[in-house]
Amino acid sequence: MDTQSSGFLNWARWQDVFEPALSTDRSQNLLRYALAVLAAIAALLLSKAFVPLLGTHNPYHVAWLAVVFSAWYCGFWQSLIVLAIEAFGVWYWFLPPSGSWRIASPADAYGLCGFVLFGCLLCMMGEAYRRTVARKAAAEEQAHRARKLFESFMEHSPVVSYLKNERGTYVYSNAANRSGQTRDFVGKTDFDLYPSAIAERKREHDMLVLKDNKAHEFIENSIEPDGEHTWLTVKFPVIDTEGRRLLAGKAIDITERKRAEDALAKARDELELRVQERTTAARELSARLLQMQDEERRRIARELHDSAGQMTTALLMNLEQLKRTNGVERERLLADSDAILQNLSKELRTMSHLLHPPLLEEVGLCSALQWYVDGFSKRSGIATILELAADFGRLTPELEIAIFRVVQESLTNVHRHSGSSKANVRLKRSQDAALLEIQDEGKGIASDTKSLLLGSGPVGVGLRGMRERVAQLGGTFEIESEGNGVTIRAMFPTGKSSTVSAAQLV
């Protein structure tokens, strides 16, 4: 068939026009019939014109041309009509006697019959050839459409697809101009497209698939113009139409998902770290609170032992003497015992007020602070001034007790450690926060000692307790000591928005 096709190569354009096998258009059929009849008439006229040159003994030379032309390019039925016209034309015009339907020689009759038989064979061969060409053209058209559909589908597919031969060379890829890529993959290997480490990893995956002869799934990386990408890749072996084994691959870009997973894992690790830090801080706080509780219990025990205990012992001694005496001595012992009981009651009431001042609940923080500062000034001999606005108002019970304890602990430290003769207590309030300042004029605190006092060591339990108490209420605690004197500043949020810093309230 290839030989026949090449033999009629010059007639390709005419074949596209006159090919009848695939056309059912009526006008095209009429055109082919007309062309066949014209070819038959032209052949008879041409034969008539060649009679002086060729004679009448073999009039089929030109007739064969008309039959062959119509058989190959006009159609089966058209070629049969041409064969019939040529047969009757030769019979009437060229076989002797000319111009008659009578045949004088049996040889001429046999020649005419042979012409008709071989003409029918040519018509069938022409029809078979045309049908073969039509089927080939239809198959090529179908293959072309399928190829265009495949290419269109693959180019618009969100999945990167490719084919490699066993040497790792790309024979097809739809990855060009995708996700910012501008590389042409076909005819290249991974070593031509990616860094050696990435290319070697891809080649290892390819060899594993070819070795196992089954599909595998991999996570692969690539370097693109917009950075490193992560791909979920499925690779599997295929066989092409020529029997060659190829490696097919499909890759989905999971870069954003991978980045999201990494960010989520990082956030989870940070959250776990913070939870651990908070847990550790909570444990340390619990330990410090227990330590502070033990310190407070020891202090209360010492106070009871040094004051109430001694008074109770003196009272018991007086009662023993009362059992053995009378008269004036008895009256003296009773008077002495009464004085001891009065002092004991006063001492216990003072200690009770210090543990939980009832004025906080009855009249509020302002009166409780004024009562405590006045008492502290009288007992310690340190001139203490309380600066407090008359319209300060009430706070929540938690804030009031916290502020009172910070003042109490701070003034105690002034009395024990500073050596100052003066102390100032200032309490201010804004819309969202309250600022407390306790300032003395003592010997101050060295910077290394201040960090130790606020650290986690065994020293400075009182200061750390104040800091933890303030932190539990969402506030800040600061110690300033430059030269002489110490300033303790604590800021307590009083509303939902507590963004006011201690420095803004100074």
pLDDT value for 217 = 93
Q: Which CATH superfamily is domain 357-505 in?
A: Histidine kinase-like ATPase, C-terminal domain (3.30.565.10)
Within this chain, domains 157-253 and 357-505 share the same CATH topology: no
Q: Where are the domains of the chain?
A: 2-153, 157-253, 357-505
Cα 94 to chain centroid, rounded: 92
Is 364 in contact with 394 (CB distance < 8 Å)? yes
pLDDT value for 214 = 93
What are the φ and ψ backbone dihedral angles of 372, each rounded to 5 degrees?
-70, -45
0.85 exceeded by the pTM? no
pLDDT value for 213 = 92
Q: What is the mean pLDDT of each run of 10 residues along the chain (506 residues)?
A: 41 42 64 87 81 68 84 86 86 77 78 86 87 88 85 77 91 66 77 91 93 92 83 91 88 87 90 88 71 68 65 71 70 75 69 62 80 83 86 84 86 83 89 88 71 47 74 87 83 62 38
* Spatial separation of the C-alpha atoms in residues 165 and 172, rounded to whole Å: 10
DSSP letter string, 280-315: HHHHHHHHHHHHHHHHHHHHHHHHIIIIIIHHHHHH
Return the amino acid letter for 123.
C
pLDDT value for 123 = 87
pLDDT value for 203 = 93
pLDDT value for 236 = 93
**Three-class SS state of 364:** coil
The C-alpha angle with vertex 381 and arms to 378 and 386, in degrees rounded to 5, equals 65
* Spatial separation of the C-alpha atoms in residues 302 and 313, rounded to whole Å: 15
DSSP letter string, 33-100: HHHHHHHHHHHHHHHHHTHHHH-SS-TTHHHHHHHHHHHHHT-HHHHHHHHHHHHHHIIIIISSSTTS
Q: What is the dihedral of CA 211, 216, 218, 223, to 10 degrees?
A: 60
pLDDT value for 235 = 94
pLDDT value for 24 = 46
pLDDT value for 89 = 83
- State the CATH class of domain 157-253: alpha beta
Cα 239 to chain centroid, rounded: 37
Is 23 in contact with 87 (CB distance < 8 Å)? no
pLDDT value for 15 = 46
